[in-house]
Amino acid sequence: MDHNIANLRHDYQLRGLLESDLDPDPLKQFRLWFDEVLAAGITEANAMLLSTASEGRPTGRIVLLKDLGENGFSFFTNYDSKKGREIEGNPQVALTFFWKELERQVRIEGRIAKTSDAESSEYFAVRPRGSQIGAWASAQSETIPDRAFLEAKTDELTARFEGQPVPRPEHWGGYRVVPDYVEFWQGRPSRLHDRLAYTKKADGAWKIERLSP
């Protein structure tokens, strides 16, 4: 055992989380926490771990939350990527947010589906031009020979779209995760953390339960 790693620990002290603190709607509760994260000035507060699974083998990667509405959590990516292929085969996914500065974590589970073409095009239109061209240049998750290959492809596309708007490629767009489980975790001393979980019932209402840490 690497004892330097084993000795890494932090005792969470900032605050607690009680049932009386929660909004009955987990999406509204998430918004309350997210607004606090933004107010704290945390860098890339919208970074989230997206977990997918194919044939029982899980895969995780960080993506960026780009919209939070009453129906769920949205992000944008390449539909032909590894995550896109896994989503196509299994639309059950998980999201995880961790904001260490506030000693908080949120776990989300639910079903994912593509956003509308209109939503995807609307967001693509406001992306930086370099990111728009990057969406064309990158066959995400595919093997390429070297960095020079990617840079040459980018230069080719930059010239191709010079003087005109960059259209959204058909393989690029949004996904929305509609949750049926949301867990709010607040760090507490001695690893006796607060964990409060929302589970969606058959009638659409949310049940809130406290979980042992």
Say which residue the tokens 């020079």 belong to.
148
Picking from 30, 16, 54, the residue whose alpha carbon sits closest to that of residue 183 is 30
Is 31 annotated among the ligand-binding residues? no
Judge whether 61 is annotated as a binding position: yes
* Distance of alpha carbon 61 from alpha carbon 65, whole angstroms: 13
96 is in an annotated binding site: no
What are the helix (H) ranges across the chain? 3-6, 26-39, 82-89, 117-126, 129-137, 147-160
Does the annotation place 177 within a ligand binding site? no
131 is in an annotated binding site: yes
The answer to the question of whether 185 is labelled as a binding residue is yes
**How do the residues of the chain divide into helix, strand and coil, expressed in percent and rounded to 5?**
30, 35, 35
Q: Is 178 annotated as a binding residue?
A: no
Residue 191 falls in the annotated catalytic set = yes
CB 176 within 8 A of CB 65: no
| Catalytic residue from among 31, 129, 191, 210 | 191
190 marked among binding-site residues: no
What residue numbers does the annotated binding site for substrate cover? Answer: 66, 123, 127, 131, 191-193
Q: Which residues are annotated as a binding site for FMN?
A: 61-66, 76-77, 82-83, 105, 140-141, 185, 195
Q: Cite the annotated binding site by residue number.
A: 61-66, 76-77, 82-83, 105, 123, 127, 131, 140-141, 185, 191-193, 195
Catalytic residue list:
191
